[in-house]
Amino acid sequence: MPLPIPPILSYALRRLFQAVPVVILIMIGTFLLLKLAPGDTVDALVGDMGGADAAFIERLRIEYGLDQPVWVQLWRYMSKLAMFDFGWSFVYEQPVSRILMDRLGTTLLLMATSLSVAFTIGIFLGAIAARRAYSTTDNLISTLGLIFYATPSFFLSLMMILLFSVKLGWLPVGGIKTITGFYTGWDHVVDVARHLIMPTAALSLIYLSFYLRLMRASVLEVAELDYVRTARAKGAGESRLMVHHIMRNALLPVVTLLGLQFSTVLGGSVVVETIFTLPGLGQLAYQSVIQRDMNTLMGIIFLCSIIVVVVNFLTDLLYARLDSRIKLT
């Protein structure tokens, strides 16, 4: 008798199976795009060295396999990737996988804090704005949202650094921890948190404004629905209506957006990490592009596409948890 597979597991396996071709296509596409761009690793290396003779450049190209036709390079890269071998970074003189692992934690931390902040505060403010629709509170919150939405994160970052670090000296300018501090335990956590405040604020405000606006609209819509009227007719008060009947239904579209936006947050982290010199994937990606560090760049993209696929899967699970009408099949 075959073992019964729990539906959630078979669902997860199927999603994984569907994700494979997606990731492969992303990798091939990126590889070819990067090859279309002028310049390669050797050009960057030689540039750093201040120039070299043609024979040396030729030898480097042969050594790195860059003399081969593009499709041969692609095949070699993809077959190594299939074994999770990301190759060697000629810039960092390390295996790419090690660099990625060093940087991944910081980026995930930044994204997790930014999205949680944006999501929690966004839906909270959105719900308040909707319940007090067209009042002064609503106008204030909506205007605030508009300002957040219209402020570019790099500008906000620089202004915050100017105010909180340079003028007031409250927060560190950049980095993820105080290098000379050698903190451990709770002190370490506090130190990292202090370093994360400004980057998180810079990255989350724009998303906060998205969630705020969507939640406001969603709550206003749900509040008009028949079952809310039914609950009123049962004698339920406003706070009960909000908690039990409106919030959960109103959250559904916001959760969808959360999953979709994860990838754009990843993109946004490039700017923020670079400004705050956070040792994360975003900053690494920026440097790899400048230095034509193809292997590292490809590794980052691979990792990011996996993260996006996983997050979308988790969003679907969350969605099914929130909406009783959806069954994972």
Partner 1 sequence: MTEFALKIENLKIALPEGSDRPFALEGLDLEVRRGEVVCLVGESGSGKSLTAGAIMRLLPEPHVHVAGGAISVQGEDILAKSETEMKAMRGERVSMIFQEPMTALNPQKTVGWQIDEVLRLHTKLTRTERRARVIEMLERVHIPDPPSAYNAYPHQVSGGQRQRVMIAMALCLSPGLIIADEPTTALDVTTQLQILKLIRDLQEQEGAGVLFITHDFGVVAEIADHVVVLSQGKMVETGTAQQVLNAPQHPYTQALIASVPSLTPSPPKSFDNAPVVLKGTGLNKTFAAQGGFLSGRRKSVTAVDDLTFELRKGETLGVVGESGSGKTTVSRIVTRLLEADSGAVELDGTDLLACNPRQLREMRKHIQMVFQDPMASLNPRKRVVDLIAQGPIVHGVSREKAHAQARDLLALVELSPSAANRFPHEFSGGQRQRIGIARALALRPKVIVADEPVSALDVSVQAQVLRLLADLRDQMDLSLLFVTHDLRVAAQLCDRIIVMQKGEIVETGKTAEVFADPRHPYTRNLLSSIPGRHWTPPKLEAIAI
Q: Which residues bind partner 1 (CB under 8 A)?
A: 14, 17-18, 225-227, 229-237, 240, 244-245, 248-249, 322-325, 329
- Closer CB to partner 1, residue 178 or residue 312? 312
CA angle centred on 150, ends 146 and 151, rounded to 5° = 120
Q: In Å, how far from its chain's centre is CA 62?
A: 37
Q: Which two tokens stand for residue 240?
A: 């009960």
State how far the Cα of 308 lies from the Cα of 108, in Å rounded to an integer. 12
- Closer CB to partner 1, residue 107 or residue 249? 249
Least distance in Å: CB of 11 to partner 1? 9
Least distance in Å: CB of 233 to partner 1? 4
- Closer CB to partner 1, residue 76 or residue 248? 248
> String of b and e for 80-102 (b: at least 16 CB within 10 Å)?
ebeeeebbebbbbeebbbebbee
Task: Reduce the secondary structure of 176-230 to three states and give it as a string.
Answer: CCCCCCCCCHHHHHHHHHHHHHHHHHHHHHHHHHHHHHHHHHHHHHHHCCHHHHH
- Closer CB to partner 1, residue 80 or residue 248? 248
User: Do 260 and 211 contact (CB within 8 A), yes or no?
Assistant: no
Least distance in Å: CB of 15 to partner 1? 10
Least distance in Å: CB of 253 to partner 1? 14
The DSSP string of 238-268 is: HHHIIIIIIHHHHHHHHHHHHHHHHHHHHHH
Least distance in Å: CB of 234 to partner 1? 4
Residues 6+ away with beta carbon under 8 Å from 234: none
- Closer CB to partner 1, residue 108 or residue 320? 320
Least distance in Å: CB of 136 to partner 1? 18
- Closer CB to partner 1, residue 23 or residue 34? 23
Q: How many residues in total does the chain contain?
A: 329
- Closer CB to partner 1, residue 110 or residue 255? 255
Q: Which residue has the tokens 């339920």?
A: 236
Least distance in Å: CB of 324 to partner 1? 5
User: Do 145 and 213 contact (CB within 8 A), yes or no?
Assistant: yes
State how far the Cα of 286 lies from the Cα of 302, in Å rounded to an integer. 15
Least distance in Å: CB of 20 to partner 1? 13
- Closer CB to partner 1, residue 93 or residue 226? 226
E strands, 21-177, in order: 88-89, 94-95
